[in-house]
Structure 1
Amino acid sequence: MGAEGRRDPLAEHERTRAALRAVIPRLVHLVRGVPDLGAPSGVPVWTVGDVGAHVCAAYLAYCSAFTGEFDDWDSVLPPDDGPLSERIAAVNAKAIGLFGEDERRHLGDVIAERGETFLRVTEGLVPQTPVATPWYGQQAVITLATATGLMLSESLLHGLDIARGARLPWTIGPDEARLVLGQSMPTMMPLALDKTKARGARVSFDLALKGGPRLAVVIEDGRATVVRDAPARPYDCRITAAPTEFLLVSFRRLPVWKAIARGRMRAGGSRPWLAPRLARLIASP
């Protein structure tokens, strides 16, 4: 029996929920301790307050998939089912405008309340529970396991963005990164594929993250498939990386050359020079 057969999806989902439950008060404490919400953040053109507003909007969106408190996506999203980057840009533009100056003084309260709401309304649901996510596509539906991994990702990465702008400490542990990568990447990498650049491409990557998970990424003729712990087969390129550094590189929070220089990422296989192509074909939104 392979590694995937030994993996317990329910146990991993519960670990992801526990990690999210643990990071929410950290994020709330961080936001409440920011001295200047107008300071530049780790995200170009966004202030620290903008990032906090975005996190609140993301929490609200995932909660609304269960509570129905917001469903007017036609007023937010482009009319056509276009590229993921365009849909996310439209949502982000709307999100940071939801909270004015007065409301931004209470971003920590919103994060705490919405985070607890998400955990409460999803308590006891199986990992495969469908979650409607129109911001990813008009008919897009992901699993609760993926949604929880994405909530954890939003919290960890944007916590880092806020901390960098506010010059406050923030850590992303390898176990947290593994949960994000294992729960969300198999779904999100195919959605983020640049179909124009991928047209006619035939390339395969073996992503071996230290301590797991292992992701097989195959891109053929404008489509991508990502499988966890797939059976052994030849790959064009094998990328071995520490989970935290791979997460940060994937979401453009760390230059790849720094990860390589620190010995935290390396490429191998029959065609190791293809490693940079993965980031060009599958870009973070």
Structure 2
Amino acid sequence: MVVHITADNWAETREYLRTRSARFTALAVQAAATRRRATADWSVTDTAAHVATLARTCSGLVDPGHAPGPFTGFDDLLERTVVDTVDEFNEVLLERLPDRAPRELARATRHDVDHILRVTEGADPTAPVSWLGGSRVPLAGVLAHLLNEFQVHGRDIANAARLPWRVPPREAAPFFEQFLVGVTDYGYGRLLDGHGPPPRGRVAVEFRSEHTTPVTMALTDGFATVERPGGEPDVRLSFDPTVLNLMLFGRVSKARAVLTGKVVIRGPRPWKLPGFLRIVRLPS
């Protein structure tokens, strides 16, 4: 396995999840009366409810004996969901959570995060967990994904309420290092289906930041793999993890990320990067 998961970065991810979730729930209650939308489709309370459903989902994934799924048919929904249908997945989860009382949402979210942290204490962070579209991720990646949801949607809510919200790059790093690299390394199943014709041949992109272990993601006739750096990649991408995450989820434009120097693109064939990102993508 190439994914870099250690006792130290696993402990960091758990602590980041604990503290960021507490900040998120406090922010969501504080901003609940805000009339501006947090996203194009969701109010502040809708956004808080969305994150609550993901906390409940992750609680079931890491402890299926306690909560095998939030509702009957959940496993089938998880299996058939791919990147391009995540919005439908989210809407189904929201329909199952009609309560929008801000303090109740905060209480439920804190309860589920506490449960996640309790049942995963002492667990193997590299253990595989079933994910969307028949993919698998390391246990650490499940927590890193949930952490990123608190970070990104906390920003959405804070912007709507005109309140401060800062995510340090080191705290944003687990999403790339443990989830993105993890799901590619462990097997992404049908998660990336629906992208259209892939680029021909091989495209190799080396990712480096001050907060993650260097890694190369390669796309060979549409099939994505991760490798340890070596040889000459087509693209060398240096990044600030906070900005890269926001860019991948459509919160920061690619042009802004590059112009601010938070994402730096080098290498002998940088024109290959758009084709790579058309396949290796996230819902935005």
**TM superposition score normalised by structure 2:** 0.86
Partners of 2:72 and 2:215 in 1: CA distance: 33
2:30 to 15, 29, 33: 33
1:183 corresponding residue in structure 2: 178
Partners of 2:80 and 2:245 in 1: CA distance: 27
1:216 corresponding residue in structure 2: 216
Shift of 1:38: 5.4
Shift of 1:163: 1.3
For 1:1-285, what aligned pairs fall within 5 Å after superposition?
A: 9-36=6-33, 39-41=36-38, 43-65=39-61, 66=63, 67-70=66-69, 72=71, 74=73, 81=80, 83-86=82-85, 88-133=86-131, 136-137=132-133, 139-188=134-183, 191=188, 192-194=191-193, 195-198=195-198, 200-227=200-227, 230-285=228-283
Local SS of the residue matching 2:73: helix
Partners of 1:244 and 1:198 in 2: CA distance: 28
Partners of 1:182 and 1:81 in 2: CA distance: 25
Shift of 1:238: 1.0
1:146-179 CA-to-partner distances (Å, cap 9, x unmatched) read 1111111111111111212222211111111112
For structure 1, the residue ranges without an aligned partner over 5 or more in a row are: none
CA 1:260–1:79 in 2, change beyond 3 Å: closer, same or farther?
Answer: closer
1:53–1:98 Cα contact (<8 Å) kept = no
Letter in 1 for 2:254: V
Partners of 1:120 and 1:154 in 2: CA distance: 20
1:178-224 CA-to-partner distances (Å, cap 9, x unmatched) read 12211111134574535533263521111122343323110012210
Partners of 1:95 and 1:38 in 2: CA distance: 23
Partners of 1:38 and 1:98 in 2: CA distance: 24
Partners of 1:201 and 1:45 in 2: CA distance: 39
Letter in 1 for 2:73: D
Letter in 1 for 2:224: A
1:193–1:224 Cα contact (<8 Å) kept = no
Shift of 1:236: 0.8
CA 1:75–1:266 in 2, change beyond 3 Å: closer, same or farther?
Answer: closer
Partners of 1:117 and 1:205 in 2: CA distance: 37
Partners of 1:101 and 1:221 in 2: CA distance: 46
Partners of 1:104 and 1:153 in 2: CA distance: 21
For structure 2, the residue ranges without an aligned partner over 5 or more in a row are: none
Deviates more, 1:52-61 or 1:260-269: 260-269
Letter in 2 for 1:262: T
Residue identity (%) = 25
Local SS of the residue matching 2:261: coil
1:212-257 CA-to-partner distances (Å, cap 9, x unmatched) read 3323110012210123xx1421111111122211121111111111
2:129–2:139 Cα contact (<8 Å) kept = yes
1:196–1:222 Cα contact (<8 Å) kept = no
